[in-house]
Structure 1
């Protein structure tokens, strides 16, 4: 079983690349952003709670995110593996994910970080915001707040996974095909 954590700043291309990776490696794609948006659209209790944080450009608290993710993993017991997109975002989430996967006799195989310059990513998100309808992609201040949150809370995950020898950085700039090739090379060599 392959369990991959795909992370990078908002706009780095995680969602785009996840589509290719899930097909190529037959993985169940779990995007916390997609799951939150589904819950918000359907006005669930979780969606209402998540929206209060997302509207401010803040990350949703660990407890809420972890419960939601565990539920999604449990819904897919026959999966060949999982592609975690947008999770974990904090050390507490990473430790909780490791503990949860241990109960299923699984572990994280690798983490792959899509890396790109902030200014390029801000431009990408503002452009995406014109067509996506996502308010968090239409306000440069909110975008930069998300990057600050990422740097403070998510970047330390690199050291966490480096200590486990599971961290791989991939250049996220280039055509979709170029980035996909770089990611595939990392995963194929695991």
Structure 2
């Protein structure tokens, strides 16, 4: 199974990608994670990416593609994968097509997780993160801390990231729509686009994804 997950911030791409990867025993390839791995390892690509990240610039398409190409050519991706965060532009979608041709493989589908804008704002706008950078994330509506404003794990103060504020989320959604609409069209033209209603619980969305793929009775635990 080789899947691409599309959808706006807050659509649950990471959650669904992780579930699908676990169910079918394939890697969940998040471009954010791949970038961090390269930077942490100090590879040539990682050092180049760090220069852009440290200066607050976007990592260029060519560099992201080179990192993705390296992973898809590796043995760990031979039996399939779930791509989360790539492609994010028509240029990247065409580059992925080239990589697939290089490996003699094809995508199973591109899943477009659709969520109402106001629901995205509720999801992202309620997030709070531990100030001590413990990695713990809470949500005022769906996963609140036991003590308001404090991390359950370490007692650190919780805060809202600036890019999670409603006005900023709306801007992010507008940028996302402009950049990724051509990607959806690209996969629709190729007959690979599958649209999934991503509102509701994570379990409900997973069931819809599997139904859309015709795989509801196949695979592992979920």
Give the TM bin, normalised by the shorter chain: 0.7 to 0.9
Paired positions, count: 186
1:17 is matched with which residue?
16
**Per-residue CA shift, 1:52-109, capped at 9, x if unaligned?**
57x57xx532112101111121233563101111111111111110111101111112
Greater per-residue helix proportion? 1
Alignment match of 2:192 (pick from 162, 166, 172): 166
1:143 is matched with which residue?
169
SS at the partner of 1:5? strand
1:90 is matched with which residue?
89
**Per-residue CA shift, 1:16-66, capped at 9, x if unaligned?**
11111001122221111222344566774244245257x57xx53211210
1:80 is matched with which residue?
79
Judge conservation of contact 1:40–1:51 (CA < 8 Å) in 2: no
TM-score computed with the length of structure 2 as normaliser? 0.73
1:48 is matched with which residue?
50
Q: 1:98 to 1:46 in 2, by over 3 A?
A: same
Alignment match of 2:183 (pick from 134, 137, 157): 157
Q: 1:141 to 1:67 in 2, by over 3 A?
A: farther
Q: 1:20 to 1:102 in 2, by over 3 A?
A: same
Alignment root-mean-square deviation, CA:
2.7
Higher relative contact order (CA 8 A, sep 6+): 1
SS at the partner of 1:88? coil
Judge conservation of contact 1:129–1:137 (CA < 8 Å) in 2: no
Question: Take 2:126 and 2:173, find their aligned partners in 1: how far apart are those partners?
Answer: 17
1:179 is matched with which residue?
205
Looking at CA atoms only, which structure, 1 or 2, has the larger radius of gyration? 2
Q: 1:52 to 1:28 in 2, by over 3 A?
A: same
SS at the partner of 2:78? coil
1:63 is matched with which residue?
62
